[in-house]
Amino acid sequence: MAEYKNPNQQGGQDMKSILAMTVVFVVIFAGLQYFKPKKPATSITQQTTQTAPASTAPAPPAVNNTPAVAPAAPASANAVVARSETETVVENELYRITFTNRGAQVKSWILKKYKNNSGQPLDLVHAHAAAEFGYPLSLYTYDAGLNARLKSALFVPSATGTLAAPNTLSFRYSDGPLVVRKTFRFDASYVLHAEVQVTQNGAPVRAFLSWPAGFGDQDSLHLYASDEINTLESGKLENLAAKKVVGGNTLQGPFDWAGVSDLYFAAVFLPDQPQNASLVTFHNTLQIPKNPEKPESKETEAVPTLGAAMGSNAGVTQVRIYAGPKSVDVLKSIHASAADGKATGPTLEPLLDFGFWGPIAKVLFLGLHFIYEHIVANWGWSIVIITVIINLVLLPLRFTMMKSSLKMQRIQPQINEIKEKYKKFKATDPRRSDMNHEIMALQKREGVNMFGGCLPMLVQIPLLFAFYSMLAKVIELRQAHWLWLPDLSAADPYHILPILMIVSQFLVQFYTPSPGVDPAQQKMMAFTMPAFTGFITWNYASGLALYWAVGNLISIAQQAVMNQTSLGREMKEIAARRARRKAGASPARK
């Protein structure tokens, strides 16, 4: 029979086995603890240090296994915040843009080809307005608190220092549930591309990229008053002056493009997806010195300053931004996005709007531009040449006017007889209408066109107004020099041209025959017209005074020559006979 052993007697060996297994387990467990990956909290802390080396936030505490602490750690640990404010400059041959990582916005936008009134490169950013209302390419949302937070946030830039375009610059910011990404792409033109995405608690926030207020060239009431909101929707242009702009108003697209402009410069947004674009308009009031020459003066006046911001209804804003001059050649080269996403849509050319006389003004400017490009590279001499050309084209009309005037003078005695016949009737008498019928019948019978003498003036008035409209808006004449004139878009500082304008206008009135006009009235016109034109040109663009004065000098020369022709001599003889008759009749009237 087998020997039966008491279990209590074999416990020593079993206990040794158990102890050995326990030691092995402890060693394995300790090894796993030593060699396993580091805790999540430690990993997040290191990631934060790498992505935001300039962060001022303290390192987050280690995460333990309690559920109450774990959710808060990732939000704080994933913060992407710069430690201090830095600048990044992007430049090409046309501009030099200075970004600050505070708000990932623009502090300075220098246009290298344009000067301010001090002769320095023009900064497109209006320093005073930007400090008060916001800097270009800042973000706008419908939450005022979030707007302030986005403007003061220290973004982490992809680069600092100076970048040469073409290039890309991006900014990232993340703090708690708020995550922001802004990416800008630059090329060799005035246009840059922007992509903006803002999320809060994982949900997209509708964020608009903005140009909040004004332009750096605005240094006079005239330039502030030229601010307007411009939109092109389905090829239809709309210009909103300051009095029609409501601050904080949202305009729903689709927009081919939309933005803000003054007389010479513009900041325009061209959305990648026009059908999803919306525009927010800004209307603020800025206090400026009453006397620009004394900026330190406490005497100020309020002027409107407009701004605009564009965003997308799709959550991510993708838009091109044009910030530059309202130059025809440049505007014609920039196209909006078409339905297929390609830049083959309408151009920015409608931004240069000449108003009611637009078609004529545009033809005049194209002619002026052609002369500048192909004949003489000076805008003042180009104005002189185009004035000569216009007057040569109108010369046949002047002969027509002269012939019509002569015919009118020939039949003037008969017209006077008809008037004498009906003089006894009151003005309200129906028989006075017979007088007009007889005069019209006489003119028709003699081949006299009652509007023939006015035809040249009827042609010249639209040309004059078109020139007036064109000179006020083309940037090419801004700071353009000619002889003693430093700026053809500004008034003559010495008033030489307005004085020449007054004298020449007087001579035009004096030498040009006026059929049927009373000599006293003719003398009055000879003084009132020069005074009126001198008043217009005294403080207006000297380019207009140059055009008008040169035109008057040509008219005087043409009229002097025509007065020596047979037509001119006959007109002078008729005028002399009328003067003698009037002088002989004068004593009888006393």
Q: Quick check: pTM over 0.85?
A: no
Q: What is the CA radius of gyration of the chain?
A: 40
Using the 8-state DSSP alphabet, how is residue 154 labeled?
Answer: B
The region, left, alpha or beta by phi > 0 then psi within -120 to 50, assigned to residue 483 is left
The candidate with the shortest Cα–Cα distance to 142, out of 366, 378, 309, 384, is: 309
Residues near 506 by beta carbon (within 8 Å), at least 6 away in sequence: 526, 527, 529, 530
pLDDT value for 19:
44
Residues near 151 by beta carbon (within 8 Å), at least 6 away in sequence: 102, 103, 105, 134, 135, 138, 139
Cα separation, 52 vs 54, in Å, equals 5
Cα separation, 503 vs 524, in Å, equals 15
pLDDT value for 200:
92
pLDDT value for 49:
31
CA distances from 353 to 86, 226, 445, 469, 487 (A): 40, 12, 47, 9, 21
Sign, CA dihedral 450-455-457-463, equals positive
pLDDT value for 379:
95
Using the 8-state DSSP alphabet, how is residue 212 labeled?
Answer: -
Question: What is the token pair recorded at 248?
Answer: 């904080």
pLDDT value for 528:
80
Domain boundaries of the chain, sorted by first residue: 87-353, 362-411+446-589
Residues near 303 by beta carbon (within 8 Å), at least 6 away in sequence: 221, 224, 225, 285, 286, 287, 288
Sign, CA dihedral 386-387-388-394, equals positive
Cα separation, 160 vs 173, in Å, equals 16
Per residue of the chain (590 residues), what is the pLDDT tens digit?
A: 333 333 333 344 444 444 444 444 444 434 434 444 343 333 323 333 333 333 333 333 333 333 332 233 334 457 899 999 999 999 999 999 999 999 999 999 999 999 998 889 999 999 999 999 999 999 999 999 999 999 999 999 999 999 999 999 999 999 989 999 999 999 999 999 999 999 999 999 999 999 999 999 998 888 899 999 999 998 899 999 999 999 999 999 899 999 999 999 999 999 999 999 999 999 999 988 877 667 677 788 899 999 999 999 888 999 999 999 999 999 999 999 998 888 899 999 999 988 888 889 999 999 999 999 999 999 999 999 999 999 898 888 777 777 777 777 777 778 878 888 888 777 777 777 888 888 888 877 877 766 655 666 677 788 888 888 888 789 999 999 999 999 998 889 999 999 998 888 888 877 776 555 556 666 677 678 788 888 888 888 899 899 989 998 998 888 788 777 777 777 777 766 766 666 665 544 44
Cβ–Cβ under 8 Å, residues 331 and 352:
yes
pLDDT value for 289:
83
pLDDT value for 205:
94
Q: State which fold the 87-353 domain adopts.
A: Beta-galactosidase; Chain A, domain 5 (2.70.98)
